[in-house]
Amino acid sequence: MKNIDSTTHVKGESIYLDDIPLINGTLFGAAFGSPIAHGVIRNLHLDEALQESGVIKILTYKDITGINQIGGIIPDEPLLAEHHVHFCGMPAAFVVAETDDAARAAVKKIKVDIDPLPVITDPREAKEKNELIIPPRTFVLGDVDAAWSGCTHIFEGIAETNGQEHLYIETQGAYAIPQENGAIKIYSSTQSPRATQQASCKVTGLLMHQIEVEVTRLGGAFGGKEDQANAWAAMCALASHLLKRPVKYSLHRMEDMAMTGKRHPYSSDFKIGLDKDLKIVAYEATFYQNAGAAADLSPAVLERTLFHCTNSYFIPNVKAKAYSCRTHLPPNTAFRGFGGPQGMFVIEAAIAKAAEYLGVDASVIQKKNLNQTGDEFPYGQVAVSEAKACWEKAETIYDVNALRKEIKSFNDQSKLYKKGLAFMPVCFGISFTNTMMNQARALVHVYTDGSVSVTTGAIEMGQGVNTKILQVASQVFSISPERIRIQSTSTHKIANTSPSAASATADLNGKATLMACAAIRGRLLAVAAEALNVETSSLELKNEKLCVNGNECDWDWQRLVMAAFLKRVSLSEHAHYATPEIHFDKLKEKGHPFAYHVYGTAIIIVTVDCLRGTYEFDAVKLVHDFGYSMNTAIDRGQIEGGIVQGIGWMTMEEIVYDKEGRLRSNSLSTYKVPDIYSVPRIIDIDPLQTHKDNLAIFRSKAVGEPPLMYGIGAYFALRNAIKAFNPSAQISFSAPMTPEKVLVSLYQKQESSTHEQTIKHMAIPS
- Per CB under 6 A, residues contacting ligand MOS are 191, 223, 226, 334-336, 338, 501-502, 705
Within 13 Å and on the Cβ side, how many CA atoms surround 15?
Answer: 10
- The yes or no reply on residue 258 touching ligand LUZ (CB under 6 A) is no
Which of ligand LUZ, ligand MOS, none does 496 bind, CB closer than 5 to 8 A by kind? none
Specify the residue, 221 or 274, whose C-beta has the smaller distance to ligand MOS: 221
Is 318 or 459 the residue whose CB approaches ligand MOS more closely?
459
Q: Shortest approach of ligand MOS to residue 508 CB, angstroms?
A: 12
Contact pick of 86, 194, 262, 304 for ligand LUZ (by CB under 6 A): 304
Q: Which does 432 bind (CB under 5 to 8 A by kind): ligand MOS, ligand LUZ, none?
A: ligand LUZ
Smallest distance from ligand LUZ to CB 265, Å: 17
Residue 88 · residue 330 · CB < 8 Å? yes
For 173, other C-beta atoms within 10 Å of its C-beta total 23
Closer to ligand MOS by Cβ: residue 37 or 334: 334
* 521: three-class secondary structure by DSSP: helix
Amino acid at 717: A
- Give the one residue of 168, 266, 313, 338 binding ligand LUZ; rule: CB under 6 A: 338
Which residue pairs, CB below 8 angstroms and at least 24 apart, start in 657-661?
Answer: 657/121, 657/329, 659/119, 659/121, 660/36, 660/37, 660/88, 660/119, 661/37, 661/38, 661/87, 661/88, 661/119, 661/121, 661/327, 661/328, 661/329
Q: Rank residues 266 and 314 by Cβ distance to ligand MOS and give the closer one.
A: 266
Reference 629, options 468, 486, 481; nearest CA is 468
241 and 206 in contact (C-beta within 8 Å)?
Answer: yes
Question: Would you say 335 or 594 has its CB closer to ligand MOS?
Answer: 335
Rounded to whole angstroms, how far apart are CA atoms 523 and 528? 9
Peptide bond before 736: cis, by omega within 30 degrees of 0? yes
Nearer to ligand LUZ, 334 or 444 (CB): 334
List, in sequence order, the alpha helices (H) in 69-138: 100-109, 123-128
* Residue 750: count of CB within 10 angstroms of its CB: 11
Answer with the entry of ligand LUZ, ligand MOS, none that 191 interacts with (C-beta below 5 to 8 A by kind).
Answer: ligand MOS
- Minimum Å gap between C-beta 746 and ligand LUZ is 36
Q: Contact between 597 and ligand LUZ (CB under 6 A)?
A: no
Stretch that binds ligand LUZ, among 128-136, 297-305, 399-407, 472-480 (CB under 6 A): 297-305
Q: Interacting stretch for ligand LUZ, rule CB under 6 A, among 114-122, 242-250, 296-304, 707-715?
A: 296-304
268, 433, 700, 732: residue in contact with ligand LUZ (rule CB under 6 A) = 433
229 near ligand LUZ, judged by CB under 6 A:
no
**Catalytic positions:** 705
Q: Which does 433 bind (CB under 5 to 8 A by kind): ligand MOS, ligand LUZ, none?
A: ligand LUZ
The single-letter DSSP state of residue 376 is: B
Q: What are the Cα distances from residue 568, in Å, to 446, 523, 539? A: 13, 11, 20
- By CB under 6 A, how many residues form the interface with ligand LUZ? 12
Residues 6+ apart with CB under 8 A from 193: 213, 214, 215, 457, 459, 489, 490, 491, 497
Residues numbered 492 to 521 that lie near ligand LUZ (CB under 6 A) are: 501-502
**Phi/psi at 341 (nearest 5 deg)?**
-60, -40
**Choice between 433 and 665, CB closer to ligand LUZ:** 433
Q: Which residue is nearest to ligand MOS (CB)?
A: 223
Q: Is 595 in the site for ligand LUZ (CB under 6 A)?
A: no
Q: Report in angstroms how near the CB of residue 592 gets to ligand LUZ at its nearest.
A: 14
**Which residues, 6+ apart, have CB-to-CB distance to 436 below 8 Å?**
none
Q: For the sheet with 539-542, list strands across it.
A: 539-542, 545-548, 551-556
Q: Which does 64 bind (CB under 5 to 8 A by kind): ligand MOS, ligand LUZ, none?
A: none
| Closest to 333 (Cα-Cα) out of 230, 202, 436, 437 | 230
Instruction: Tell me which of ligand MOS, ligand LUZ, none is bound by residue 693, counting a contact when its beta carbon lies within the kind-specific cut-off of 5 to 8 angstroms.
Output: none
Residue 300 contact partner, candidates ligand LUZ, ligand MOS, none, CB within 5 to 8 A by sort of partner: ligand LUZ
Instruction: State the minimum distance, in angstroms, from the CB of residue 336 to ligand MOS.
Output: 5
CA gap 308, 452 in Å, rounded? 41
Q: Which residues of 304-335 are buried (b: 16+ CB within 10 A; e: fewer)?
A: bbbbbbbbbbbbbbbbbbbbbbbbbbbbbbbb
| Positive/negative CA dihedral, 701, 707, 709, 712 | positive
Closest to 300 in 3D by CA, of 70, 427, 137, 86: 137
Residue 335 binds what, of ligand MOS, ligand LUZ, none (CB under 5 to 8 Å, by partner type)? ligand MOS
Instruction: State the minimum distance, in angstroms, from the CB of residue 334 to ligand MOS.
Output: 4
CB of 432 to ligand LUZ, least distance (A): 4
Binding site for ligand LUZ (CB under 6 A): 223, 226, 297, 300, 304, 334, 338, 432-434, 501-502
